Every structure is written in C-alpha cells, then in structure tokens.
Amino acid sequence: MRFDNQISRIAALKDDHPGNLALQSFDADYFASLTEAEQGRLMNCLNSGIENPDSEMGCYACQPSDYDAFRPFFAKVLARYHKVDEDARHVNEWSLEGIEGLPSGGVLDLAALGLPALSMRVRVGRNLTDFPLPGAMSRDDRVRLEGKMMEAFSILIADPDYGGAYHSLTPGNPHEIDDAAYQALVADHVMFKDMSNDRYLAAAGIAADWPYGRGCYVSEDRGFIIWVGEEDHLRIMCMEKGSVLNRVFDRLKTALDKVSKIDGLSFASSLDYGVVTSCPTNLGTGMRASVHIKIPNLTADGTDAKAKEICRPLGLSVRGVGGEHTPIGADGTVDISPSARFCITEAEIIAVLYKGLSLLKTHEAEAS
C-alpha cells in the first residue's frame, strides 16, 4: 500500500506523544475506507505532526473543503483541542448585545479598569475559496493569489478611509521592498517573520516557496493591515495603541465587510465549522484579539509560568511580544489573548479579553 510507511510511523509515534492530537485522532480503519486520492490529501494534512511529533495540534488543512471532506478525522481533533462535542457547530456573531458582564452601553474601555493605553490588536484569518490552502499551493498559485489581492488592494488604496500601500516580498513584483524595508516592517509588528524558520509550517508545506506571494497591505494610518501568504491566505487585522477595545474590533468588522464585498473575493467557510483556516486551532472565527500588557509582578521570576497559571482559568493565553513561541519581554510585557477561537462568537472573544484583563489586573496588584 502506498501509505504503509506513514501509517506505521504514526502507529510507532502515537504512544510516546499523547499530546499530539492529530496522531491520537488518526484512525487506520477510517483511512483505509478512503480512496487513494483522498488518502493522499489527508496524509498531507498530517505531515507536520508526523515530522514534528512534539506538535500539540499536529495537522493543517490543505484544501478549503478538507474539514468537511475528512470530517470523521477533523471532528475528533477539533473536539479534543477545543473541548467541544464531536458534533459541535460553530456560529459567527459580532454583536455584543446580550453578552453578560459587560459595561452598559457596551464600551469596553480598559482605562476604566485603571489600565494604561495598551497596544491592542484584533486579527482574523481568511482563505479564498478558489485556491488550495497554503499547505498545498504551488509557487504559481501563491503569486497568482498575490496578484488577485493586489487588484483588491487598489480599491482600498483609492479609498480615503484606507489609503496606504502594498509591500511585496516577491522577487520582481512592482511593489517589491528590499530586505532593510522588510526588517523594519517586522520590527514594527506590521509584517510577519520569515516562515521558513518555523518547523511546523515548513513541514506542512505552508512555508514553501518563501518569499514568493508574500506581502502586506498597510493602510495610510498603519492601523489596518492585511498579510498575504502567511499561514492563511490572508490575515486581516486592526492595531492601535489605546484603551477602547471596540475601536479595533469595530474597525476590523467594517473593513472585513468592505473587503469581502470586493468583486471576485470569496472567503472559505464551512456550514458547521464557520471560517476555514489552515490550522484547526483557528477554525470558526479565525480570530485572535490581544493586548500587550506589562505585568512585572506576575513575571518577577523572569518566566511566564505564574502568568500562565493565573491566565488559564480566565481563558487567556500568554505569549511573548515577538509572537507565537517567543519569550516574554525583560520588563514583564506579555501578549494576552483569549485562547478560544472555535464554538465561541467573535463578540464573546472580545468580551473574554475585557473581563479577563480586569481580573488579571487584580492578580497583578495582589502579587506585588
């Protein structure tokens, strides 16, 4: 059999890597029931988790239809990771109305909690329906997708509410920027880092053909950004230093509605699973809402261990300010974001952030 090798590797790795959800959810009988073409597709999704047995998720979707096509596999992975039932259905909703525990009027003002102005950021992952997901794209696909997005960006650039410019890493692109300009955008948290350094993305094929088809659109005020060609086709985000979370949340919703209405752009979604993303950790909303906050007392030992212990029950994840898998800042600045993305609404995510920060502030004060 064509996949005997991989099947036995999975079986051999399974016992020693209980935390690798894709390996744990792989069912050889289900796999055997698939056609050879389907088997190839599903094996592609698992490649990153086989090559990196220390993975927590251990798989990425490679086609927009993979979650629906391989539901018996993905339902298990999703249930385990997101702690939901295997038949859970996702619902999208941006309205804060009816969510409990928020200030009346719905203004989520961190200053009212006694917090200083913070870097606030909300991003969503989006993928176009008419391309493979990044793990299965050819170099030509990546460049064609970038070309299609450049047409869409010209509409934003012509609009005084957005303006700005597109910056490309693709050799020969008319908007190509040099390495120094790229590094400056990375340092400003505007552009993403070289993905080929991420072994999970590399093994998934998502980092392939770097830097072809990679770039970012940045609005005139630098508060609205669209990454092209990272882990998802698009990462669409709003950033601002301030106190009112609604500002970045509402601006993102408005911008997202505008972009999704541009002719020819259709975002992949699943009837039961909501927004389709490469990584099952992001499925549903594709949303990560975060702030950078200084918590020197909870990080006094130089690690994020205490902060993580406090944040976990609040539904919050702790990262370094350099992004995923980066250490915390020397001054105790960390990136805090709600952990949930799936079977939670967009509005609930922003509410979890607001309520969690209120409690985190109390814990930080108590730890002094």
Q: Is 30 exposed, middle or buried (0-12, 13-18, 19+ CB in 10 A)?
A: middle
Buried b (16+ CB within 10 A) or exposed e, 59-97: bbbbbbebbeebbebbbbbbbbbbebeeebebeeebebe
Q: How far is the CB of 260 from ligand ARG (least distance, A)?
A: 22
The correct pick among 58, 164, 213, 284 for binding ligand ARG (CB under 6 A) is 58
Of 110 and 283, the one with the shorter C-beta distance to ligand ARG is: 283
Q: Binders of ligand ARG among 226-255, rule CB under 6 A?
A: 231
- 342 vs 354 by CB, closer to ligand ARG: 342
Strand partners, 208: none
- Residue 265 CA to residue 259 CA, distance in Å, equals 8
Instruction: Name the minimum Å distance from CB 36 to ligand ARG.
Output: 26
What phi and psi values does residue 337 have, to the nearest 5 degrees?
A: -150, 150
Token pair for 2: 């064509």
SS3 49: helix
Binding test (CB under 6 A) with ligand ARG, winner from 67, 131, 200, 354:
200
Q: Indicate the residue type of 27.
A: D
Closest to ligand ARG by CB, 143 or 207: 207
Task: Assign 93 to helix, strand or coil.
Answer: coil
d(CA 11, CA 24): 9
Q: Does 55 bind ligand ARG (CB under 6 A)?
A: yes
Binding mask 316-345 for ligand ARG (x = CB under 6 A): --------x---------------------
Contact in structure between 115 and 243 (CB atoms under 8 Å): yes
Report the residue number, 71 or 193, with the smaller CB distance to ligand ARG.
Answer: 193
- For the record, the structure tokens of 129 come out as 């329906």
Candidate ranges 56-64, 96-104, 117-125, 150-158; the one touching ligand ARG (CB under 6 A): 56-64
Q: How far is the CB of 196 from ligand ARG (least distance, A)?
A: 14
Amino acid letter for position 218: V
Query: Could you give the 3-state DSSP secondary structure of residue 77?
Result: helix
Non-local (6+) Cβ contacts of 32 within 8 A are none
Residue (243 or 339) nearer to ligand ARG, CB: 339
Which of 170, 269, 281, 285 lies at the binding interface for ligand ARG (CB under 6 A)? 281
Smallest gap from residue 198 Cβ to ligand ARG (A)? 8
Q: In terms of CB distance, is 140 or 324 closer to ligand ARG?
A: 324
Site track 30-49 with ligand ARG (rule: CB under 6 A), x = hit: ------------------x-
Choose one: 30-38, 52-60, 88-96, 345-353; the region binding ligand ARG (CB under 6 A). 52-60
- Shortest distance, position 282 Cβ to ligand ARG, whole Å: 6
| Residue matched to tokens 């699973």 | 273
Q: Supply the minimum distance, in Å, between the C-beta of residue 111 and ligand ARG.
A: 31
Smallest separation (angstroms) from ligand ARG to the CB of 12 = 19
CB of 317 to ligand ARG, least distance (A): 11
The SS3 of residue 136 is helix
Nearest to 221 by CA among 305, 146, 144, 165: 165
φ, ψ of residue 110 to 5 degrees: the values are: -70, -25
CA distance 247 to 354: 13
Smallest distance, ligand ARG to C-beta of residue 22, A = 7
73 lies in the binding site for ligand ARG (CB under 6 A): no
Choice between 141 and 230, CB closer to ligand ARG: 230
Q: Which is nearer to ligand ARG, 103 or 323 (CB)?
A: 323
The site for ligand ARG, by CB under 6 A, has a size of: 10
CA distance 201 to 215: 17
Structure tokens at 91: 């619902």
Judged by the rule CB under 6 A, the positions of this chain that interact with ligand ARG are: 48, 55-58, 200, 231, 279, 281, 324
